[in-house]
Amino acid sequence: MGCRHASALTRMRSGWSHEYAISYSIISREPGMPTGRKVLKWAISLACATGAASALADIETPLRMIFTPLFLLSVPGVAAVGLLRDRDPLTAISIGVAASLLANVLLAAAMLSFESWSPRAGVATIAVLGGFTYVLRLVHRGSGNLQTEQGAGSG
């Protein structure tokens, strides 16, 4: 961390602007996800939360027609992808999309077959399923390494 900051100060002394050197040192200290991806992640999370809140509170707004389907499609998919931490990214995304579509279609079919169609109940059910999957992911990650070696147990 100190080395990166020192390199930013060296660059600043060599003619770079002060603002660029400060932003360079702040960005280079972040160990995780790049800043643009964090902003996108939080923007989508906020849009999903807005969609769920507007559907549950029955607030009529033009943005509800965009944010509520975003919530319904992204929550089950993101939850499924979260469980697939050690997989190929393309496989995880494919399974996430399939899980999202499966959860929504099964929920809609169940609500129609029991003649209890309610957008509020659908959003609440998807939220509960997403929360349950999040807790399952926390338990799964907290239990240590669950991978098995190939060929283990064969004598």
The Cα–Cα gap between 35 and 17 comes to 21
- Report the chain's mean pLDDT, rounded to a whole number: 79
Closest CA to 131 of 76, 91, 89, 93: 76
Q: Is residue 36's pLDDT more than 80?
A: yes
Q: Which of 30-39, 48-57, 146-155 has the lowest mean pLDDT?
A: 146-155
**Helix (H, G, I), strand (E, B), or coil: what is residue 100?**
helix
Summarize the confidence of residues 53-82 as an average pLDDT: 93
- In the chain, domain spans: 1-31, 34-142
Over residues 6-26, the pLDDT tens digits come to: 444 444 444 544 444 443 434
- Residue 154 pLDDT more than 70? no
C-alpha 135/C-alpha 128 separation (Å) is: 11
